[in-house]
Amino acid sequence: MIPDPTPAPASRRPLRARLGPVRSRAGLTTAGVALLLLVGSANGLLLAWQSSVQHRITHTLSVDRTLMQVLADLLDGETGQRGYLLTGDPAFLVPYTAGQARVAAELPVLDTELRGSPAQEARLRALRPAIARKFAELDRTLALDRAGDRDGALALVRAGDGKTEMDEIRRIIETMRAQEDDLLLGYQRHAHRIEAMVGIGSVVSVGIMALLAVLALRETARRAALSRFLPAELAPLLERGGGIERGGGLRLGERRHAAIAFVDMRGSTTIAERADPETVAILVTGFRRCVAQAARETGGVIDKFMGDGALVVFGVPEPRADAAAQAIAFAERLEGLVDGWNATSREAPVAIGIGVHCGEVFVGVVGDDDRLEFTVLGDAVNVAARLEQATKAFATTTLVSQATLDAAQALGHAPGTAWREVSRSPLRGRQEAFPIYGRAA
């Protein structure tokens, strides 16, 4: 369970190259969102323009209908006048009288609808006296008939003055309708172009949204994969970049003071040889849950699980002055969790060993984007591992170095457990005296 004391950090690409994919994805997403907003804004303007064009089309059709109605009412009046003159039946005067009234009401409507169009206003000004002359001609013939001079009235009709006025009215109205038809065709062409552009914009918007959805799904999958390889506390920080305190420096790695807790489940090899696979899986899973809970509650980051062992780091990713106190609290909390687990488990009790030390270590994320690994390297890691091994010789669960206790007590963090010195002998592979402490009886 002791890591190689001399590993070297894996070779790394330059930080710019490593962060390049993240930045390019973020840049592509930002560009996509900006383009989507741009297309959406353009579609909004086009729809507003389309609404304006539709209003103009409706207005043009209304003008055309009014002009046609004026002409129809004039024709009704002329037909009623001639029917009356030919038959003397007063019933023919009904459409004549109604036509006059309707024309009188329709001309102000045209005034309003044609306001703002100088050419049409000029034609309307010419149309008004022509209509007045036509009705005056109709009124004269009816007046002659009422005076008993039907022959004179018919002679006036045959003279053709009324037809001349009616032809002039038709010419003016047809000219006005022709202009409205030209306007209508232009508006309809605009409407078709707008519909086409809105359609293209909608297709582009759907395409951009699909691209953003694909990017979001890929980013979610990438982050999920990142979380599989990195501690949960580090994966989000690595996304944001910046210094090691913000995650970006983890890509380069740096040296810093941290506390290390090395944990091992004792007798796991014997258990694996004698117990069935299901029992082994239950024991290892329960052990790891205890380690994860203790680390979570005391601010530790699980560097890695190694079979039935674990390496937990304190003071990463943010440096903490109380990292040593956190590591001691972790050891105390883990012992309590394992005791509670053993009390409720139907399997044989599980024994663990914990070694705690603090010192300077290398911390960083190594590997490529397909598989990243959080790494803690240095003599402090090796010492913690040897302290954990020494727990067997001293028949205790946890051993803590004097450096760890001193660092915790220097900040006024009194451990929850009393500790006693159990040895000053050099650790394996060392020559200098090394005070270590276990729990006081």
How do residues 67-125 score in pLDDT, each as one tens digit?
999 999 999 888 888 888 888 888 888 988 898 899 999 999 999 999 989 999 999 99
pLDDT score, position 205: 83
Does residue 4 register a pLDDT over 50? no
> Using the 8-state DSSP alphabet, how is residue 302 labeled?
E
Q: What does CATH list as the number for 254-439?
A: 3.30.70.1230
Mean pLDDT over the full length of the chain: 82
Distance, CA of 366 to CA of 13 (rounded, Å): 10
CATH 1.20.120 domain position(s) in the chain: 20-206
Average pLDDT (319-344) is 91
Give the model confidence (pLDDT) of 284-296 as tens digits.
888 999 999 999 9
Per-residue pLDDT band for 171 (boundaries 50, 70, 90) equals very high
Predicted confidence band of residue 217 (pLDDT cuts 50, 70, 90): confident
Sign of torsion, CA 93 97 98 99? positive
**Structure tokens given for 62:** 């209304």
**How much is the pLDDT for 110?**
92
CATH 3.30.70.1230 domain locations along the chain? 254-439
* Least confident range of 170-179, 189-198, 226-235, 390-399: 226-235
Which pLDDT score is estimated for 414? Answer: 61
- The highest-confidence range among 19-23, 197-201, 238-242, 343-347, by mean pLDDT, is 197-201
Angle at 36 between CA 33 and CA 40, to 5 degrees: 140
Examine the pLDDT at 36 and tell me if it is beyond 90.
Answer: no
111's CB contacts (< 8 A; 6+ apart) are 124
Topology at the third CATH level for domain 20-206: Four Helix Bundle (Hemerythrin (Met), subunit A) (1.20.120)
Q: Are 162 and 137 in contact (CB under 8 A)?
A: yes
10 or 207: whose pLDDT is higher?
A: 207
